[in-house]
Amino acid sequence: MTSRFGFGLEEIELGEIVGRGGSGEVFSARHRGTGARLAAKIYPFDRMDPAFRPRERFQRECRILSRMEHPAFPALYGCGEEEDGGTGWALMEWIEGKPLSAYRSAPVHEVVRLAYGIASALDALHVQGILHRDIAFDNVLVETRRFGLNPRLIDLGVAKDIGSNEDLTMAGAFLGRVPFASPELLTGEGAAGLIDPRSDVFSFGVLLFEWLSGKPPFPGETPERVMKAQKKRAAPKLEPREGAGEAGGALSAFVESLLETEMEKRPSSDAVVRRLGEFRRFHPRAVLDLPRAAASVYRVASIGYALLPQRFDAAPTLPRLRAVSFPEPPPRPVSIGSPREASARGVGGSSASPLPAAEVARPGSGSRPGVGFLVLALGILAFVAACVGAAFLFFRS
């Protein structure tokens, strides 16, 4: 049994290509009915290496996005695939922003505040039992909002669900970017079987170290060179780049602690968030006076991915697309009354129909307005009677 999540491509108008990577292309799009701007990601499964398991990864990415309630992740409005399983598509929130690489020269106080948002998003993934496995500068977009800069994570193409019994990665395979790889990812087993979120913590530490110092902690373009650098020194000393400002000994020691080559010595993602929250209090953010409201994919002419040896053009597959999708995942418990859940139900998907009006105000259920009116009336009568009695006693005397 199959069912489509949300609305499909027949309800939108595709625009120009705004991003291209190892798993397909991202198009600008508009919803025909409302004019809302969207991002449409097209996955050409039949043009990719079957060993990469592109169809299964697409399905997993959609399921993960549908579960995430953290504001750093784009909202998922619809997803599906053509009938023969050759191409998939996902409709997501349009994010207006610059890649994190545009902020490489940001001062320490801005780095800390953006890093706090990224770490918070990673911790939200880990709470859900998800490993990101591809932390890098070009997987984060930065929005400019009235309250300041806001980071958004945009690519979960190689994320791993720890709770799933299926591992889509072959033993010895490497996923992600070599300079950001944790020592665990560079072992003989590779990304297969990796289930500890502290691998993401290491990659986040590499990003933060390079961001503050201007150079990678473990330089190398190949896994062999990076492994050699990691074995040479466990936690390199952080020296702030020119223009970054004073990082302070506590912040430098914190970043170095994320780069421990022994996984057991690294902090958990929630501890990382708490510590960055402490640093953030010492770096207040200036309020920006912006005339335009926050919007939401940055027009990236080309995004390089190290997941596959080449990029895959999704445009030729567009005429074959149909609004059919993969089987629904097993139902999971949700919190009643969640604003994000209510929003998702409004977009589409499998959700319960609204209750009829007769059931909303069913006699004998919930509050009873008749009782309230009766109490009010009795109170008024008692007050009038007290006034009459007082007047009688006054004039009698």
C-beta of residue 159 within 8 angstroms of C-beta of residue 60? yes
For residue 355, being part of any structural domain is answered with no
Hunting for tokens 């998702």 — which residue is that?
344
Distant-in-sequence, close-in-space partners of 350: CB < 8 Å, separation ≥ 6: 3, 5, 328
Give one DSSP letter per residue of 34-75, joined into a string: T--EEEEEEEEGGGS-GGG-HHHHHHHHHHHHHH--STTSPP
For residue 359, being part of any structural domain is answered with no
Strands 130-131 and 160-161: antiparallel
Range of the domain at 29: 1-96+297-347
What pTM, to 2 d.p., does this model score?
Answer: 0.68
Q: Give the Cα separation of 324 and 3 in Å (integer).
A: 7
* Strand, helix or coil for residue 22: coil
pLDDT in tens, the chain (397 residues): 233 567 788 888 999 998 876 677 889 999 988 899 999 999 888 887 777 788 888 888 888 888 888 989 999 998 888 777 788 899 999 999 999 999 999 999 999 999 999 999 999 999 999 988 889 998 899 998 887 889 999 888 778 887 665 554 444 444 567 788 888 877 755 555 567 889 999 999 999 999 999 999 998 888 788 888 888 766 678 888 887 777 778 999 999 999 998 889 999 999 999 999 999 887 665 554 444 433 333 333 333 333 333 344 565 555 555 444 444 444 544 443 443 333 333 333 333 333 333 333 333 444 444 556 676 777 788 877 887 777 766 666 5
Q: Longest C-alpha distance within the chain, in Å?
A: 108
CATH assignment at residue 124 = 1.10.510.10
263 and 201 in a common domain = yes
283 and 166 in a common domain = yes
For residue 259, being part of any structural domain is answered with yes
- Pick from 300, 270, 295: nearest CA to 139: 300
For residue 15, being part of any structural domain is answered with yes
216 and 149 in a common domain = yes
Q: Give the Cα separation of 144 and 136 in Å (integer).
A: 20
265 and 171 in a common domain = yes
